[in-house]
Structure 1
C-alpha cells in the first residue's frame, strides 16, 4: 500500500532564483493565452524549494536541418528554437532531463539526431531519460531513436518488444516511470493483458512507498490541436488507482496544466468530460510541448466545454510561439514546479506552483 495521504493543499505559485534561471521580474500567471499578452500580476510569495533533486522536462523539440526556419538552431519567432530551450538547462544541476517525445523532426533519423538534437542537448545525455513520440516511429520501430539513446531508452524491457520504451528509475524520494504511448495503438489496447501494463503493474508493486511520476508522449486530455488520445484511458486509470501523483506529456505544441483529475471514461469513441477532484484523489497532468518546434492553436473553453474549468494554465500561439521547459523539484513528500520561458520574443509567461504526494 502507498503511504497514507499526507496532502495539504498549498497555495500555488513561487519564484525562486535558487531553483532555475529567472524568466522575468514580473511573473505572468497562466490564464489561457492564445495570442493576447498574458495577464500579469505581482510575483507570488516565495515558498522555498526544499532540498530535493531538480528535474527538467519538455517535448516536441528539434527541427530538421531542412526546415526553412531552422537557421542553425536559432529559429524564428514561430519555430525551431531548440537552442534557446537547451540554453535553459545550462548550469542547473539537474538530476535528470526528461524529453517527452518527438525529440527530432521530421523522422527521428540518426543523421537528424546527430546534426541537431545532439548539438544542443547532447551534453545532457548522461542524465537524459527519454520517452519516444510518433515522429521517432517514422523511422521503423524507432530504430535510430533507440540507437542514439542506447540502454537508457528502455528498448530491452524484460516483458518483450510490446513493452519497449517502458522503464523506471528513482530520483531522490520519487519513483519515475517512462511509458511508450505508441505501444497502446495498432490493435493492441493497453489493458491488463498488455505486456507494458504487466510490466507496469510489477514495477509499481515493487515501489509502494514512493512519490511517483509517470510520463509519455500523447496526453489523454488536451485543448490543443490533437485533442484527446483515448488509447491512454486504461493507463491513466491504472496509474490513478495506484496513487501516482504527476503525469507529464507533450504532443500538442504548447503548454497546458490541468487541475488534479479523477478517473477517465470513454462513451463510444469520445472521452467523457473529466472530473476535477481534490489533490489527494487525483493526478495532475502537464502538457509541455514547448521544446522548440513550433506552437499549435489552442481551443477556448467555450469551444471545448468538456474541459471548461479543468485547465488551470495554458498558452499556445502559432505566430508568437511559447518555448521553454518545465522544471520540478522533487522533495520527500511534495514537489514544486516552474515553467521557464526561453528568450524568444513571445509575451511573458510563467506558471509556478506546489503539490504534495498522495
Structure 2
C-alpha cells in the first residue's frame, strides 16, 4: 500500500499553536512586533527565505516514578549526560533562530520514548516549539533498551506518536498528525514544503516489531513500501531544492573502521545506515540538496558524496550529522595521526551541544552551527567551535 504524500501547512499549524499555547508558550503571540513565527508569507511563496532548525538526540530520561527501577546513570541528573541543562540550552538556541520549522532527527526522547518520558523531559525544554517541530523517529523511540543494567521494552513508536500526534484518554496515539501516519502501512514518513524547498522525513527503525523486523528495501515489507513511497514522492516533487532526513546516518563519523566495513563505506554505523543507502541512491538520482541525520552524538559535516561514499563535487550530496541535542557525546573516529577515519568528513565536533540553523533561499542555502553548552567537565573554551557555509540546489 502506498501512502499519499502529506503536505503539512505551517500556517495552519501556527494558528492551532497560537490558540492552544497562548502567552505561556516560548513563541511570540500574534501581533507582537516581528510576529514570529506565524505571520510568515503565504505557503508556496518561493521567493521568501525560510529558517529551518535541525537537531537530534535530545532529551534525557526523567527521574520519575515510571523510571524508578532504571539505573540513575541513564536518567536526568547523571553527571555523564547533558541532562536538562543541555536540552534547555539547545531549545533556547533553536527558539532564538525564530524558525519556520524544526527538523528533529530522531531519538528525541531517551531511553525508550514512553509518553510519560516525553511529557517529563522533552516537553519541558522543547514544548514551546512543538507545533513547528517536524520529527523523524530514532531507535530509542522504537527499540528496547537493555544496556547498562536497564531492561525497558521497546515502544514501537507509541510514545512518539502519542506525543506529537496526540492521543485518546487511554493514551492510544492518533492515527495521523504532525509526525505522519501511525498505521500498519505507514510508520510516520511524510514530506512538506517550505517555499521552493521540498523536505522529507523518513523512518529507518526497521529492526522493530512495527516493521516485522524486516530491513529489506526490495521485498513486500514495510521498509520496502516506504522506499517505494520515497521514489514516488521524489518523482512527483516539482520543487528545485530537496532535503531528506532520518536518524541513523549512512556514512559514519564516530564509528572506527573494522576489518569488514571501512568508516567511509555505507552502513559503517549500523544496519539501518546500511539499508538506507538505497534511499541515498534515490535521492542522488533526483538531485537532492542535503541529507541530515542524528544517532551519532556529535556534529559532523561531510563532503558531497555519491551513494557509494565517494567524493563527488559535481553531483554528490553533503551529509550533515547533528546528534548534539542534549543527551550525551560520542568519541569521534580518528586514525593514529589524528585525521578522521572517514576521509569525507570536512569538520567534526563532540565537545558540546548545539542546533544547526539552515537558511533556505530560493535556489540556495546557508548553514551555521555553534554549540550552546559545553560537555560535562569541559571548560568554556569548548564553545569556541563553529561551522558555517553555503551551497546551491541541484534540482
Scaled by the length of structure 2, what TM-score is found? 0.68
Match status 1:288 vs 2:332: no
Deviation at 1:92, TM superposition (A): 2.4
Aligned alpha-carbon RMSD (Å):
2.4
Q: Which runs of 5+ in 2 are unaligned?
A: 1-46, 64-71, 144-153, 166-176, 256-267, 375-379
Deviation at 1:302, TM superposition (A): 4.8
Match status 1:334 vs 2:339: no
Per-residue CA distance 1:187-234 (angstroms, 9 max, x = gap): 341238611012112211221342000000000011214725211111
Higher relative contact order (CA 8 A, sep 6+): 1
Deviation at 1:77, TM superposition (A): 7.8
* Maintained 8 Å contact 2:60/2:76: no
* Maintained 8 Å contact 2:198/2:239: no
Deviation at 1:79, TM superposition (A): 1.9
Query: Matches of residues 220-299 of structure 1 in structure 2 within 5 Å?
Result: 220-225=250-255, 227-228=269-270, 229-264=273-308, 274-278=309-313, 280-299=314-333
Match status 1:212 vs 2:242: yes
Which of 79, 82, 105 in structure 2 is aligned with 1:79? 82
Give the equivalent residue in structure 2 for 1:190: 217
Deviation at 1:162, TM superposition (A): 4.9
Match status 1:163 vs 2:199: no
* Maintained 8 Å contact 1:327/1:340: no
The alignment partner of 1:145 has SS state of: helix
Per-residue CA distance 1:128-180 (angstroms, 9 max, x = gap): 00000000013432111001100111124xxx635311100001210000010
More moved, 114-123 vs 61-70: 61-70
Q: In 1, Cα distance between the equivalents of 2:302 and 2:207?
A: 22
Match status 1:178 vs 2:220: no
* Maintained 8 Å contact 1:69/1:76: no
Per-residue CA distance 1:303-322 (angstroms, 9 max, x = gap): 89995431001012xxxx31
Query: Matches of residues 95-106 of structure 1 in structure 2 within 5 Å?
Result: 95-106=100-111
Give the equivalent residue in structure 1 for 2:126: 121
More moved, 167-176 vs 76-85: 76-85
Q: In 2, Cα distance between the equivalents of 1:336 and 1:191?
A: 36
Per-residue CA distance 1:225-264 (angstroms, 9 max, x = gap): 4725211111111111111110000101011100000122
Query: Matches of residues 132-151 of structure 1 in structure 2 within 5 Å?
Result: 132-138=137-143, 139-150=154-165, 151=177
Per-residue CA distance 1:23-65 (angstroms, 9 max, x = gap): xxxxxxxxxxxxxxxxxxxxxxxxxxx9510010111100012
Deviation at 1:91, TM superposition (A): 3.5
Structure possessing the higher radius of gyration over alpha carbons:
2
* Maintained 8 Å contact 1:302/1:308: no
Query: Do the aligned partners of residues 261 and 192 (structure 1) sit closer, same or farther apart at CA in structure 2, a change above 3 Å counting?
Result: farther
Query: Do the aligned partners of residues 235 and 332 (structure 1) sit closer, same or farther apart at CA in structure 2, a change above 3 Å counting?
Result: same
Per-residue CA distance 1:78-119 (angstroms, 9 max, x = gap): 522111111102242211001111111111011110011001
Match status 1:154 vs 2:180: yes
More moved, 334-343 vs 201-210: 201-210
Query: Do the aligned partners of residues 142 and 348 (structure 1) sit closer, same or farther apart at CA in structure 2, a change above 3 Å counting?
Result: same
Give the equivalent residue in structure 2 for 1:352: 388
Query: Do the aligned partners of residues 196 and 340 (structure 1) sit closer, same or farther apart at CA in structure 2, a change above 3 Å counting?
Result: same
Q: Which runs of 5+ in 1 are unaligned?
A: 1-49, 265-273
Aligned residues: 290
The alignment partner of 1:130 has SS state of: strand
